[in-house]
Amino acid sequence: MGNGHMRVVVRMPNGLVEALDALSRQENRCRSDLIRESVAEYLRRRDRDALREQLIRGYQEWGAVNQALAEAEWDWTDPPRE
């Protein structure tokens, strides 16, 4: 297929195909569109969840440093020197 698309054959349980066909009829859309949209959404969610996990780990790792800085006693009477 020369338009930037590839054909993919996927095996699915009968019940899943029946639900897909029912949704296809209900939304007047083809199976391919629904499957393509579902896979794209799944990949977006995976990326978002991976980023969220990285952020959580970063906040946890830096939490002790931030707490120490917040609790540090600072001498604010001596102005900074250039």
DSSP line for 17-74: HHHHHHHHHHHT--HHHHHHHHHHHHHHHHHHHHHHHHHHHHHHHHHHHHHHHHHS--
Question: Could you tell me which CATH number the domain at 14-69 has?
Answer: 1.10.1220
Token representation of residue 64: 């002790």
Q: What's this model's pTM, rounded to 2 decimal places? A: 0.65
Q: Is 15 or 76 the better-scoring residue by pLDDT? A: 15
pLDDT at 66: 79
pLDDT at 58: 87
User: CA 49, CA 52: separation in Å to the nearest integer?
Assistant: 5
pLDDT at 71: 82
- Nearest C-alpha neighbor of 39 from the set 18, 15, 12, 2: 12
**pLDDT tens-digit profile of 38-75?**
999 999 999 999 999 999 888 888 888 878 888 887 77
User: CA 72, CA 29: separation in Å to the nearest integer?
Assistant: 62
pLDDT at 62: 86
